[in-house]
Chain A
Amino acid sequence: MSALGARRLLLAGTATIASIGTAHAQSTTTGTVAGTTITNTATASYTVNGTAGTATSNTATFVVDRKVNLTVIATPNTPKQVNLDQVDAYTTFQVTNNTNGIQDFALSANQAVLTGILTGTDTFDLNNLKIFVDSNNNGVYDPGVDTKTFIDELAPDGNATVFVVGDIPSTVVGKMAQVGLKATVAAGGTTGTLGPVLVPTPLNTLNQDNEIDIVFADDDNDGLIGYDTANNGAGWAYGAYDIGVTAVNLSVVKSATVLSDGVSALNPKALPGAIVQYCLTVTNSTLLTPATGINLTDVIPANTTYVPGSISVGGLGTGGVCLTNGFTQNDDGTPPALGPYRGSFNATTKTVTATIPTLIGGASVAASFRVKIN
């Protein structure tokens, strides 16, 4: 109380010292900062029977009240493309403080979004839904870095990026999840602490000139069918997670080439003791959609012996023909020296395995291994 009084005195003092018309807290579109004291004093000069005189009026004052306003938008306002089982899938929102003062904002989310607000139908919910503020302002959700769950001390006209983060289930109904973000204006003033949610000063409260009233002046942010209403001190916006493509057109072609038979170097035949290279080419023919976690398995033919250390993944190849070798893999499945791929040979099941982490749309990759004919 006394601190507030001191601040008012300070403001009043500044006002009388500074010249009229200087720019002060006027550059913002939110207007004069709440708590600013507006003062008015008039002067007069006159003559009475030829004698000059002057007069000064009283000083009228009032305190500028808090005009609470905010906007919340989804940015971009298009569904976020996600995959099944995706962890930390997020939609992005922007909260702007249009209040004439520094405010905190409480954040909450709702997965029950009414039909008609967004294009598409809300058919599934995310698990483990959380809300985080973009603390490093890079526009990307960084797990472990963006950990603030409320907007702290946002200046007038300032904005903050907010992520609604969740996990996509492994099986879903339909392909779209919609979520609503609610930002509620709260009292600022204490860094690191979410202030209490603002409550408008009742209209019939006996109002002192020197008190900062709270007046809600925010729009209905989401139209008639949304959760938001005008002058409620809160704003809503909606985002969608879309499993646009659940399958890609993946094809595998296999071929065998006799490399050497110990007899003819020019035209080797599949004789006992000959070395045969099997080549598998994987093609993702769904343009623009990457396939992830591709596992190729192949049991070596009967009457052949696997040539140790012959698995190569990541070479160029198409239509079942390996054009170049890829990265040589370790038979025990441990990470190789180079490349993102993995390979292994299981001597018990006589199975060759090759793993390709990502294959972008329209691309092919080759994997090969060798056997010796018994």
Chain B
Amino acid sequence: MTLRILAAAIPALVLAAPLAAAGPLTMTTRMMVEKRVAARDGSTATTMIPATRAVPGDRITVVLAYRNGGTAPIGNLVLANPVPRNVAFRGAAAGSAAPEVSVDGKTYGSLDGLRVTTPDGATRPATANDVTHVRWRLSSPVAAGQGGELAFQAVLK
């Protein structure tokens, strides 16, 4: 009952969510941790497993999978991912396109072009620890039925 009244009062907000869910683009995200596994020959290999066991200092890979489930190509695709709290950005994951980064959620670019305002009003070059958002802008359209995976590396603080 309460929900219906709210829906009537602000239809735009409520309508936005079902539309997005019904859109052609589906996205799933998952977080993986690196685990070093000893092989029989004495070498160690790094494998990615779901982040079920994670302690501070562990390297985490945030994976974003997208897929065009519609019939028309999707253009101008921009995928944005706020860096989770208590996680520090480190860089693009192996095999993934490098994301643009932001330290304020507004201005995106490469890390070496960004600056951070310090409490005393001065600015300093941004470091990976300052990154709060990442985004990928896909230059070519995603054809119907096509998709891909993008990922970035981070460390659990």
| A residues adjacent to B (C-beta < 8 A) | 15, 18, 20-22, 24-26, 30-32, 36, 38-49, 53-60, 62, 64-67, 100, 201, 207-209, 213, 215, 217
Top 5 A-B pairs, shortest CB-CB distance: A31-B56, A67-B55, A57-B27, A32-B86, A42-B81
In the bound complex, do residue A41 and residue B55 qualify as a contact, i.e. CB atoms below 8 Å apart? no
In the bound complex, what is the Cα–Cα distance between A25 and B56 (angstroms)?
Answer: 12
In the bound complex, do residue B25 and residue A53 qualify as a contact, i.e. CB atoms below 8 Å apart? yes
In the bound complex, do residue B57 and residue A31 qualify as a contact, i.e. CB atoms below 8 Å apart? yes
Which residues of the partner chain B approach A54 to less than 8 Å between Cβ atoms? 16, 20, 23
| 9-residue interface stretch from B28-36, B40-48, B107-115 | B28-36
In the bound complex, what is the Cα–Cα distance between A217 and B156 (angstroms)?
Answer: 15
In the bound complex, do residue A40 and residue B56 qualify as a contact, i.e. CB atoms below 8 Å apart? no
| B residues adjacent to A (C-beta < 8 A) | 16, 19-21, 23-31, 50-57, 62, 64, 66, 70, 72-87, 105, 132-133, 156-157
In the bound complex, do residue B29 and residue A207 qualify as a contact, i.e. CB atoms below 8 Å apart? no
- The minimal Cβ–Cβ distance linking B67 to chain A, given in whole angstroms, is 10
Give A65's nearest chain B residue, CB to CB.
B55
Give B133's nearest chain A residue, CB to CB.
A20
- The minimal Cβ–Cβ distance linking B90 to chain A, given in whole angstroms, is 15
Given known contacts A20-B82, A20-B83, A46 and B157 CB-to-CB distance under 8 angstroms:
no
In the bound complex, what is the Cα–Cα distance between A201 and B31 (angstroms)?
Answer: 21
A47-B75, A53-B23, A201-B53 known; 6 new pairs, CB 8 Å cut-off, are A18-B85, A40-B29, A48-B23, A48-B72, A62-B50, A65-B55
Name the residue among B19, B50, B54, B73 with the largest chain A CB count within 10 angstroms: B54
In the bound complex, do residue B157 and residue A26 qualify as a contact, i.e. CB atoms below 8 Å apart? yes
In the bound complex, do residue A60 and residue B53 qualify as a contact, i.e. CB atoms below 8 Å apart? no
Q: Which of A36, A44, A66 contacts B78 (CB 8 A)?
A: A44
In the bound complex, what is the Cα–Cα distance between A52 and B44 (angstroms)?
Answer: 47
In the bound complex, do residue B64 and residue A42 qualify as a contact, i.e. CB atoms below 8 Å apart? yes
Q: Which of B62, B72, B79, B132 contacts A40 (CB 8 A)?
A: B62
Given known contacts A44-B80, A65-B53, A31 and B156 CB-to-CB distance under 8 angstroms:
yes
- The minimal Cβ–Cβ distance linking A12 to chain B, given in whole angstroms, is 11
In the bound complex, do residue B56 and residue A30 qualify as a contact, i.e. CB atoms below 8 Å apart? yes
Which residues of the partner chain A approach B132 to less than 8 Å between Cβ atoms? 20-21
In the bound complex, what is the Cα–Cα distance between A348 and B85 (angstroms)?
Answer: 88
- The minimal Cβ–Cβ distance linking A144 to chain B, given in whole angstroms, is 40
Given known contacts A20-B133, A58-B28, A38 and B87 CB-to-CB distance under 8 angstroms:
yes
- The minimal Cβ–Cβ distance linking B56 to chain A, given in whole angstroms, is 2
In the bound complex, what is the Cα–Cα distance between A47 and B29 (angstroms)?
Answer: 21
Which residues of the partner chain A approach B27 to less than 8 Å between Cβ atoms? 42, 44, 55-58
Given known contacts A26-B157, A45-B78, A15 and B55 CB-to-CB distance under 8 angstroms:
no
In the bound complex, what is the Cα–Cα distance between A38 and B31 (angstroms)?
Answer: 9
Which residues of the partner chain A approach B29 to less than 8 Å between Cβ atoms? 40-42, 57-60
- The minimal Cβ–Cβ distance linking A49 to chain B, given in whole angstroms, is 5
In the bound complex, what is the Cα–Cα distance between A43 and B83 (angstroms)?
Answer: 12
Given known contacts A43-B80, A60-B31, A53 and B55 CB-to-CB distance under 8 angstroms:
no
In the bound complex, do residue B86 and residue A60 qualify as a contact, i.e. CB atoms below 8 Å apart? no
In the bound complex, do residue B23 and residue A64 qualify as a contact, i.e. CB atoms below 8 Å apart? no
In the bound complex, what is the Cα–Cα distance between A43 and B105 (angstroms)?
Answer: 13
Give A18's nearest chain B residue, CB to CB.
B85
Which residues of the partner chain A approach B86 to less than 8 Å between Cβ atoms? 24-26, 32, 36, 38, 64
Which residues of the partner chain A approach B50 to less than 8 Å between Cβ atoms? 62, 209
In the bound complex, what is the Cα–Cα distance between A95 and B29 (angstroms)?
Answer: 41
- The minimal Cβ–Cβ distance linking B60 to chain A, given in whole angstroms, is 8
- The minimal Cβ–Cβ distance linking A32 to chain B, given in whole angstroms, is 4
In the bound complex, do residue B157 and residue A55 qualify as a contact, i.e. CB atoms below 8 Å apart? no
In the bound complex, what is the Cα–Cα distance between A36 and B20 (angstroms)?
Answer: 29
- The minimal Cβ–Cβ distance linking A39 to chain B, given in whole angstroms, is 6
Which residues of the partner chain A approach B105 to less than 8 Å between Cβ atoms? 20
Name the residue among A22, A48, A49, A201 with the largest chain B CB count within 10 angstroms: A48
Which residues of the partner chain A approach B25 to less than 8 Å between Cβ atoms? 44, 46, 53, 55
- The minimal Cβ–Cβ distance linking B36 to chain A, given in whole angstroms, is 13
